[in-house]
Amino acid sequence: MAGQDNDVVTAYPNHAPNKQEQNLPGLDAKMDPLASHTQLEKWDENGKPYLEEYAGNGRLKGKTAIVTGGDSGIGRSVALMFAREGANVSIVYLPAEQKDADDIVAMCAKNAMGSKEMHCIPADLMDEKAAKGVVDEHLKKWGRLDILVNNASKQIECKDFSQVDLAQAESVVRSNLLGMFALTKYSIPHLGRGACIINSSSVTARKGSLGMVDYSSTKGAIDTFTRSMAGQLMKKGVRVNAVAPGPVVTPLQPASRSGESMEGWAVGEPALLWQRPSQPAEQGPAYVFLADAGQSNQITGCVLPVNSGSYFTS
């Protein structure tokens, strides 16, 4: 496999992406190789890595959650891990991603414990009416809302900002920010004390991105939104936090980059402690932690970095 770094020690057998390209928004089912969404890397007493399936132990039992972009990538891991922790989950996805939505429904049905049903809501969150409809549909199905995960986002590479397509840049802003604003607005009246909001930020919010200026700008705004909403909702007893991943193997990457640049993408990158991109499964537990008030009740307004230490070499 071109781009593979044999010095990278990991239990994930195919951690280096192959040459590949997709159209936005991208499908997990077309990833090469397929990403891992529920297997976590562990280390034995001899320091040898192995993979273990995420099981869950009922930490979110009785809770319900909306996860946007929940059909694929990080959102799929979050939705599956929430379900394995006992939550009833609604995933929001673009209609073009129906294959991925069908796949996660089948994956959820195989849960050994926890919820076995994944409620699917196709919607384009750039439409305000659609955002309200998502909340209404979730409440109709589950009767309450405890956790909102604003995860859906879009990125389009442009290495020369003088050539940026402003219509595309506007769509990135509408997708990453205004869709989040709308869904949060319509969710707040239904979030009671002990509920939470978790937003998907990015390491690019602090480091920037030479090739994705508009995307990294929206992620910086998400950090500010997180802190602002945490203060506003504090008296309501609702916590608001964010997770800031580094490079993660998701369909968004081949859908927004050239096929050549995806070959061995982020493998051997000196800014990453583990010298490889993250699997979606390695992001999911951070969302579970922030959703579980028993573990994170004192955490609000926080942006949790899950990015292989890449802040330290920026």
How sure is the predictor about 5, in pLDDT bands with cuts at 50, 70 and 90? low
Average pLDDT over residues 99-104: 94
Quote the longest CA-to-CA distance of the chain. Answer: 55
Report how far residue 132's alpha carbon sits from residue 66's, in angstroms, rounded to the nearest whole number: 12
- Annotated domain spans of the chain: 28-313
Spatial distance between the Cα atoms of 55 and 39, rounded to a whole number of angstroms:
9
Class of domain 28-313: alpha beta
Assigned token pair, 117: 């049903």
Q: Output the six-digit token pair for 296.
A: 């994170």
What single letter denotes the amino acid at residue 183? L
Q: Is 186 a catalytic residue?
A: no
66 backbone dihedrals φ, ψ, rounded to 5°: -105, 130
Q: Quick one: residue 41, left, alpha or beta (phi over 0 = left, psi -120 to 50 = alpha)? A: beta
Residue pLDDT, tens place only, 247-291:
898 876 877 677 787 888 778 777 777 788 889 999 999 999 999
Q: Give me the percent of the chain exceeding a pLDDT of 90.
A: 65
Using CA atoms, how far apart are residues 193 and 146, in angstroms rounded to an integer?
9
State which amino acid sits at residue 5.
Answer: D
- CA gap 154, 310 in Å, rounded: 22
| Arithmetic mean of pLDDT over the chain | 90
28-80 per-position pLDDT tens digit: 888 888 899 999 999 999 999 999 999 999 999 999 999 999 999 999 999 99
pLDDT digits (tens, 9 = 90+) for 149-202: 999 988 888 788 999 889 988 988 999 999 999 999 999 999 999 999 999 999
How is the chain split among helix, strand and coil, in percent rounded to 5? Answer: 40, 15, 45
The helix/strand count (H/E) of the chain reads as: 11, 9
Say which of 50, 215, 287, 311 is annotated catalytic.
Answer: 215
Q: Which residues, 6 or more positions from 298, have their beta carbon under 8 angstroms from its beta carbon?
A: none
Pairing of strands 49-53, 39-43: antiparallel
